């Protein structure tokens, strides 16, 4: 279990570990604004675009074999990134990291499906895996902050190498191989169409979060939608589809995918806004802010543990809806923060949110694995993680856009203060440093209030989305029982 959890933890950590290192990278490599954006985003883009392809490949060549190949690529790319001497080299290394990460997550999850045959053991194993994968996004900035206190920015990548070396040694000894016994021909056209529709849509959503709904954001979404239609048509007509779309007819499978996307929507959107809020409005250093977030990591682990225990006696639909409602309540708690609030108010609400996320994500992942045929475990796992990627992108886009819109509109009402500060709270803090103390204090007071207003509205939007999802998903899963799950699996 430890062998399977560690690579999943590192794969998710690398989505956020650079948050704290970006200033050091900027000072050392002097990337342009566009290059810095690609350094941050290319890893997630590559993972999103290749997860389904790698999941289907693992079903055919063997999931352990794919895990070993991915670990080799991930370790080599980590070393390359750690010693990158230019922005272009770091972007290339991060792209290779994304390639390796796309093999690690579906391989480890699908191997759990084949190793743990007992329902209770599998539920616990999935809970541990889910906690590691979701918790890794929260742990990333903490690990990054600790390393940057003592080492150079490359150390955030170099920690991956010894873990990957260990994985290459012990995986062949401890993990048995599993694959689809009758995989059929690998669908090369489907493999090409997968990143062709996922990457433009994810890119468009992220651009919408940064610049609003302009043609630069909407055009790639439209292109991705066109390729998605081709991908669906291909999967419905080929003899060996990468994804059996008939699985979506099963309420447990479709509802679980939607649950997975919704909870990551909450976690990713809140994580980004919270990191900015604690370091600007509340004035904490990156490391201190990250350490304050430790209870939120514990919340996801506690939620996963509760899911494993309660699922023995409570129907999956009730538990999934309960987890979403708990996460919605966490959003409500976050909506009570003010610029003068103690950080404990934010941490309490955020911890309740991660508790609900851990509870829901564990159940959703378990349902995805148990309702899909065992021979398609890799593709099903990849589909679950792809729904997470889309949920995360939507969370950042929607909640980030709401916060930014409220902030910009509020600052725009004060023309004397809004010059060069209406774009972001970071811009306001930067401008304030060059102003006289009296003007700086007035600017920061207004900017902090404006950003907090946006943060509060975003939290309320998040609460509404999760509450609506709880009702809809709860209804769709209301008839799903352990007996039906077993029958669907058979």
The CA angle 300-301-304, to the nearest 5 degrees, is 85
pLDDT digits (tens, 9 = 90+) for 71-126: 898 889 999 988 988 888 988 898 888 888 888 877 887 788 777 777 777 777 87
d(CA 395, CA 144): 23
d(CA 30, CA 33): 9
CA neighbor of 162 nearest in space, from 225, 237, 219, 82 = 82
d(CA 312, CA 120): 8
Instruction: Grade residue 377 by pLDDT with cuts at 50, 70 and 90.
Output: low
Nearest-Å Rg of the Cα atoms of the chain is: 22
Sequence-distant (6+) residues with CB within 8 A of 344 are none
Question: How many Cβ atoms are within 10 Å of 210's Cβ, its own excluded?
Answer: 15
Q: With respect to CATH, is domain 249-490 assigned 1.20.1250.20? A: yes
Among 394-398, 405-409, 433-437, 478-482, the range with the most confident prediction by mean pLDDT is: 405-409
- Note the pLDDT of residue 204: 80
Instruction: Grade residue 481 by pLDDT with cuts at 50, 70 and 90.
Output: low
Instruction: Find the farthest-apart pair of alpha carbons in the chain and give their distance in angstroms, rounded.
Output: 73
16 CB burial (10 A radius; 0-12, 13-18, 19+): buried
pLDDT > 70? residue 197: yes
pLDDT > 70? residue 476: yes
The dihedrals phi and psi of 30, each to the nearest 5 degrees, come to 50, 55
Q: Where in the chain is the domain with CATH 1.20.1250.20?
A: 1-177, 249-490
d(CA 348, CA 329): 11
- Note the pLDDT of residue 331: 92
Average pLDDT over residues 249-259: 76
pLDDT digits (tens, 9 = 90+) for 309-340: 887 788 878 888 898 999 999 999 999 988 88
DSSP 432: H
Contact 475, 251 (CB under 8 A): no
Among 314-318, 350-354, 365-369, 450-454, name the one with the lowest average pLDDT: 365-369
Between these two residues, 189 and 242, which has the higher pLDDT value?
189
Instruction: Grade residue 487 by pLDDT with cuts at 50, 70 and 90.
Output: very low
d(CA 173, CA 181): 22
What is the 3 state secondary structure string of 75-142?
HHHHHHHHCCCCHHHHHHHHHHHHHHHHHHHHHHHHHHHHHCCCHHHHHHHHHHHHHHHHHHHHHHHH
d(CA 330, CA 347): 10
Among 191-205, 281-295, 330-344, the range with the most confident prediction by mean pLDDT is: 330-344
Instruction: Grade residue 4 by pLDDT with cuts at 50, 70 and 90.
Output: confident
pLDDT digits (tens, 9 = 90+) for 384-398: 777 777 777 677 767
pLDDT > 60? residue 25: yes
Between these two residues, 415 and 159, which has the higher pLDDT value?
159
Instruction: Grade residue 489 by pLDDT with cuts at 50, 70 and 90.
Output: very low
- Note the pLDDT of residue 125: 80
* Average pLDDT over all residues of the chain: 78
- Here the tokens at position 335 are 């909506």
Q: With respect to CATH, is domain 1-177 assigned 1.20.1250.40? A: no
Average pLDDT over residues 337-356: 89
Torsion on CA atoms 307, 308, 309, 311, rounded to nearest 10: 70
- Note the pLDDT of residue 210: 61
CA neighbor of 137 nearest in space, from 448, 389, 489, 462 = 389
350 CB burial (10 A radius; 0-12, 13-18, 19+): buried
Contact 267, 354 (CB under 8 A): yes
């Amino acid at each position: 279990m430890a062998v399977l959890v560690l690579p999943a933890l590192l794969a998710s950590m690398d989505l956020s570990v650079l948050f704290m290192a970006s200033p050091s990278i900027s000072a050392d490599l002097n990337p342009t604004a566009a290059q810095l954006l690609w350094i941050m985003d290319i890893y997630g883009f590559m993972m999103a675009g290749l997860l389904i392809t790698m999941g289907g490949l693992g079903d055919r060549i063997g999931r352990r074999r794919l895990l070993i190949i991915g670990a080799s690529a991930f370790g080599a790319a980590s070393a390359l990134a750690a010693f990158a001497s230019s922005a272009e080299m770091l972007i290339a290394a991060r792209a290779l990291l994304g390639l390796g990460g796309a093999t690690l997550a579906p391989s480890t999850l699908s191997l759990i499906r084949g190793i743990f045959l007992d329902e209770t053991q599998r539920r616990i194993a999935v809970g541990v895996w889910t906690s590691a994968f979701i918790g890794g996004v929260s742990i990333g900035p903490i690990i990054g902050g600790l390393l940057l206190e003592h080492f150079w920015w490359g150390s955030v990548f170099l920690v991956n190498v010894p873990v990957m070396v260990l994985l290459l040694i012990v995986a062949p000894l401890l993990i048995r191989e599993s694959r689809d016994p009758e995989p059929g021909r690998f669908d090369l056209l489907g493999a090409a169409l997968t990143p062709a529709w996922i990457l433009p849509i994810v890119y468009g959503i992220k651009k919408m979060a940064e610049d609003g709904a302009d043609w630069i954001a909407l055009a790639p979404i439209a292109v991705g939608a066109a390729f998605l239609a081709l991908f669906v048509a291909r999967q419905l007509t080929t003899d060996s589809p990468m994804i059996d779309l008939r699985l979506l007819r099963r309420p447990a499978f479709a509802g679980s995918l939607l649950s997975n996307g919704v909870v990551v929507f909450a976690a990713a959107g809140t994580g980004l806004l919270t990191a900015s809020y604690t370091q600007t409005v509340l004035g904490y250093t990156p490391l201190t802010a990250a350490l304050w977030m430790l209870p939120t990591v514990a919340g996801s682990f506690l939620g996963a543990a509760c899911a494993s225990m309660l699922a023995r006696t409570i129907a999956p639909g009730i538990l999934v809806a309960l987890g979403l409602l708990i996460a919605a309540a966490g959003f409500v708690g976050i909506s009570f923060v003010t610029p003068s609030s103690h950080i404990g108010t934010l941490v309490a609400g955020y911890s309740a949110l991660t508790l609900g996320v851990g509870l829901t994500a564990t159940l959703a992942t378990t349902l995805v694995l148990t309702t899909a045929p065992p021979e398609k475990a890799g593709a099903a796992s990849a589909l679950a993680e792809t729904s997470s990627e889309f949920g995360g992108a939507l969370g950042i886009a929607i909640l980030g856009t709401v916060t930014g819109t409220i902030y910009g509109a509020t600052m725009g009402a004060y023309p004397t203060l809004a010059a060069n500060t209406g774009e972001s709270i970071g811009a306001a803090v930067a401008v304030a440093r060059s102003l006289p103390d009296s003007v700086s204090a007035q600017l920061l007071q207004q900017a902090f209030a404006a950003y907090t207003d946006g943060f509060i509205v975003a939290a309320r939007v998040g609460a509404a989305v999760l509450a609506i999802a709880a009702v809809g998903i709860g209804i769709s899963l209301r008839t799903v029982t352990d007996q039906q799950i077993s029958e669907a699996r058979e």
